[in-house]
Structure 1
Amino acid sequence: ECYKCGAQKMCYMNSVHPMETHDMAAVDETTGRVIGGEALDDEFNRRILPPTNPRKRGRPESNRRESQTQGVRVKRCSKCGEPGHYKNSCKNPRADFADDDEG
């Protein structure tokens, strides 16, 4: 019931609107400069700039994109050194122990 259009209009019907005063500053639409206001000096009469975006917290995201011409990297086991699988699924004996048995 509260999400219907009529309920929203009733809720915001009597919202508070700002009152303009004689010492209120304004922005010139053509130049974008602040005009008027009692407390404003020429020092502060400058362009209104968009807010600066602060850096995000944590580790920054990587901007690296894989090249279309770059070949696919072959998976290589760190246990036996053969391509096509990882150490977790390796069924071969370790390469350094196999070399010791032969010699």
Structure 2
Amino acid sequence: MPFEEALAIANAAMQTALGRSLSDIETLIFEGSWQGKTYPQIADEAGYSINYLTTDVGPKFWKALSQSVGEPVNKKNFKAALRRWGKGAREPGGEGERESSQ
């Protein structure tokens, strides 16, 4: 799955579950994680402190994404979770369809 498609799925999941899209910093974490970067690499490239990403924004982002896709996700398994959520959202009776019809 291309990055742009994954980002669109993540935004759709967050919008469906939480009523919001990814913030700019969440998008940076998502993209860096997609590229296999570590928090220190993401922090260095984006100008944030490593501590801020690892103890504040990162955990909150993965928790929000977990709530959005309905399963625990982290930097290592989020791609597969997004594929599953995206597939379910497009199928009749899938997660996304059930949520949006309530």
Give the TM interval when normalised to the shorter protein. under 0.3
TM-score by length of 1: 0.21
Bigger relative CO (Cα 8 Å, ≥ 6 apart): 2
More helix by share: 2
TM-score by length of 2: 0.21
